[in-house]
Structure 1
């Protein structure tokens, strides 16, 4: 039997971290809405935290091409745990306000973003260390992630019912700490980058600037398929981030049923689990172009149902269908990104990519909050669904993705 000495602790650590994030993803918007009563506040928080998140992504990418990636992942998870644990402590003592969310969000950015990039840079070397097939592993990895995300929103809903929303964040903090401890079981040699070295003082700033330039070059000039995967991934984050981070929380809050949000997100994850398991099993049974086209058409149908906000049943069905068809395309994009970025530039490229995602996502959430204030959540949802249809047409017409 093959010994997965690096893969098992890596997957376990990623799962613990993702479980904590999925719980926080449900709880944090509801806590913020409960404390401020203003949908615009959530969008403003995302914008305010965007700058430190981008800086953390840029500097983190530079560090990950110079220092041990496993060690940086551990440190990042510990910082994340501390930033989340501070919220229920503050709520129980002086009381949470918008300013406290900003402070904890900025501290959390220092941990969350480099930690996410560290895992991204570690994944291909972990697979290589244990001699696994990258394309099949991406399907398995997506399946595990989706299984974890199924559990997360359900735990969040139950936690809010028994503990209260703010105290449920203790679970996220604990899971981040466990993720850090589990990462220590990944062989340290796996985390050594090809250009390992020391950076001092102003050299870090200079290296970060060079890292960003190199990351942009790799992402957008080195390969057309890689460029298309990055662009499409960003567009998907814009639309889905607006739904998950603003439209659905506001809708269920207005309906006086905030706990239902967790079950809708769980339905999406169940669908994604089935889709990614199917891809892991039959990855080579169909052409990549077929997986790609079927996935985008299926997601468009799911978003149309979800975006209608017609009824809880329709929303649930749309979420499940969206998840089902997102599983294969997520695994496929992961395969392209991890497979086409050279190891020596992985920290720079993935750090730059994550930084860009951190720019567009909060801008999209903030813009969505403004539109909701002007035209209401129902019309905003329909506009996003229409945007997804245009995205589908764009994805199917892209020249770079016709011969994948």
Structure 2
């Protein structure tokens, strides 16, 4: 392997998987609403799937510290494709109902969540193999993600227009399969677990006594050990990592509720639900611009400067959008929000990859993804109660107030005041990348 071939393949696989998820994110709610006729079904489905998704994330994290991470990514994408492909099959044979959505949604989660964590765990190793600066690569990867986020809804609309909502899911499944096939071309050594993890286990639940347990007991023990180990890495050992993780949770909960509930309800109430897509596309376009700017200028500016500018821009734009102004003002606020959120997302991701040791990356990232998968639907459900009891405008203002509290906490966090001194290594991959490099040297490449 020469040049930047591994990073290119990784980006291609990640983009295909994300494009499939982006199309599904538009198509699935429409299919669910058309088949059930219940506007609350999507929120209910999210709550029902939250705990199983969390368990899938924890188990995926445990496996990623034991098995080859590239292999898990491949298997996860194929499982995700199967879960999506079965939806049109079931619709043709028996007809979809809410129960089928729950069952197949859980099957897809078994693939989606570990697959997402596997790609997160692979990223630093991919950068190390090709000698790519991690900080700049995160900015470039996020820029590509933004492009996919813009293209996805448009592709979904095109597919629905030509073939109908359910048939569009065939393309989603095909994209997941394509992502798995591209990942197959990445050298197996990139996904190798560090030798010391294979020897003593980052969250070892399979000691000699454990081998005599039932399969269910071993699964429960592995999930529990992964959660304990992941929480220790994320929240106990490293103040910078703890602060950045909590800020990520704040972004996911507040922004997820605003985009996933308040804005859709607002546009539905005003009789223009189609405008939601334009606002979300404007936000994605703004994030693309912000991410590209960060990728180009990241090494030239202090991380603390990026941090402050991003927080200020996000606070101002959320305050504007929270007033639910006229459509042009909402578009402007969405663009600014995206531009400010782009550098913040890349910067927080950088600190996670830089500071989580490779030996614990699976459990830590699996725990983070699993907890966010529970936090997001809980926040949306809480927001829905405010919408129902006090109205959409009040709910929007409550979210603005919540975001201001998150911003103040982020600005006052002592651990985030000297961000440029918090980097563990000049390469940006830290101890984690050095461990990955050592593991790759001892594992044969394909």
What TM-score comes out, normalization by structure 1 length? 0.94
More deviation in 80-89 or 101-110? 80-89
Q: What is aligned with 2:361? A: 346
Structure 2 Cα separation of the partners of residues 276 and 30 of structure 1: 30
Gaps of 5+ in 1: none
1:359 aligns with 2:374: yes
Distance 2:76 2:128 in 1: 24
C-alpha distance in 2 between matches for 1:379 and 1:166: 36
In the alignment, is residue 140 of structure 1 matched against residue 140 of structure 2?
yes
- Change in Cα spacing, 1:160 to 1:315, as seen in structure 2 (3 Å) is farther
1:324 aligns with 2:339: yes
- 2:407 corresponds to: 392
Q: CA deviation at 1:150?
A: 1.3
Shift of 1:322: 0.8
Deviates more, 1:324-333 or 1:371-380: 371-380
Provide the alpha-carbon RMSD of the alignment: 2.0
Contact 1:43 1:367 survives alignment (8 Å): no
Q: Tell me if 1:267 matches 2:282.
A: yes
- TM-aligned CA deviation for residue 105 of structure 1: 1.3
Q: Which residue of 2 aligns with 1:313?
A: 328
Distance 2:40 2:280 in 1: 22
Q: How does 1:79-118 map to 2 (within 5 A)?
A: 79-118=79-118
- Partners of 2:55 and 2:223 within 8 A in 1: no
- Cα distance, 1:24 vs structure 2: 1.8
Closer, same or farther: CA 29–306 of 1 in aligned 2, 3 Å? farther
For normalisation by structure 2, the TM-score amounts to: 0.86
Using the alignment, how far apart are the partners of 2:162 and 2:268 within structure 1? 19
SS at match of 2:299: coil
- Identify which of 341, 349, 374 aligns with 1:334: 349
Indicate which of 246, 251, 255 corresponds to 2:266: 251
User: CA 1:244 to 1:339, structure 2 compared with 1: closer, same or farther past 3 Å?
Assistant: same
Match of 1:289 in 2: 304
Give the greater-gyration-radius structure (CA): 2
Deviation at 1:50, TM superposition (A): 0.7
Over 3 Å counting, the alpha-carbon distance change for 1:146 and 1:171 in structure 2 is same
Deviation of the 1:122 alpha carbon: 0.4
Q: Give the Å deviation of 1:203.
A: 3.9
CA distance in 2 between counterparts of 1:165 and 1:315 reads 28
CA drift of 1:258 comes to 3.7
Tell me which moved more, 296-305 or 9-18. 296-305
Counterparts of 2:360 and 2:378, CA distance in 1? 27
Q: Write the distance in 2 (CA, Å) between the matches of 1:174 and 1:329.
A: 32
Distance verdict in 2 for CA 1:32–1:245, change over 3 Å: farther
By how many angstroms is 1:336 displaced?
Answer: 0.1
Using the TM superposition, give the Cα deviation of residue 62 of structure 1 relative to its aligned residue in structure 2, in angstroms: 0.6
Gaps spanning 5+ residues in structure 2: where? 420-446
C-alpha distance 321-281 of structure 1, shift in aligned 2 (>3 A): same
Aligned residue pairs total 404
Instruction: Measure how far apart 1:248 and its partner are.
Output: 2.6
Q: Any idea what SS the aligned residue of 2:300 has?
A: coil
Q: CA deviation at 1:133?
A: 0.8
Of stretches 300-309 and 99-108 in structure 1, the one that deviates more from structure 2 is 300-309
Which residue does the alignment assign to 2:24? Answer: 24
Q: Residue 186 of structure 1 aligns with which residue?
A: 186
Partners of 1:149 and 1:363 lie apart in 2 by 24
Following superposition, the deviation at residue 264 of structure 1 comes to: 1.9
Asked if structure 2 preserves the Cα contact closer than 8 Å seen for 1:26 and 1:262, the reply is no
Whole-angstrom distance in 2 between the partners of 1:101 and 1:48: 11
DSSP-derived class of the 2:5 partner: coil
Give the conservation status (yes or no) of the 8 Å contact 2:53–2:106.
Answer: yes
Question: Residue 196 of structure 1: which of 195, 198, 205 is its match?
Answer: 198
3-state DSSP of counterpart to 1:95: coil
